[in-house]
Structure 1
């Protein structure tokens, strides 16, 4: 998915929300899906990994070539000593 397609899809999701055709959680899910698809295409062979654990790391999704690299990316994004694990996102 290219940038223009991603922006169009987000715009369509926002328009549906504004028209009352979907809920906020539906909008969030749609936009999240667009962003993940865009990021996966943009980043090439990288895979999405979701962190689970304490504080700001919990639920954080990063793109990385491997699980160890995903751990490093999460650690760089969250400050302090936070306990977390990562797993591939389907």
Structure 2
């Protein structure tokens, strides 16, 4: 999914919420799904990586050109990342 498609899908979800066609929790689920699809199907030289560990890093997904760069990005996002690994997100 490219950026324009993702934005359109989020815009459609927001419009449905504004029109009363869905609840806030449904809107959140729809937007979360769009973002996860965008990250998983990202087109370009970057790839989605998921962190596994304890605390706030567990489950974090970042886009990076390599696993080493993904580790750096995860560490930069969290004050005290502790021990963690990264692997390609499925």
TM (norm. structure 1) is 0.70
Q: 1:31 to 1:47 in 2, by over 3 A?
A: same
Shift of 1:12: 2.2
Residues matched between the structures, number: 86
Q: Which residue of 2 aligns with 1:31?
A: 31
Output the aligned Cα RMSD: 2.5
Distance in 1, matches of 2:85 and 2:27, equals 28
Which deviations, in whole Å up to 9, do the C-alpha atoms of 1:6-46 show, x marking residues without a partner?
2220132344556455783x5444323422417823xx211
TM (norm. structure 2) is 0.70
Flag structure 1 segments of 5+ consecutive residues without an equivalent. Answer: none
Which deviations, in whole Å up to 9, do the C-alpha atoms of 1:21-79 show, x marking residues without a partner?
5783x5444323422417823xx211100111111101110001111111111011111
Shift of 1:83: 1.4
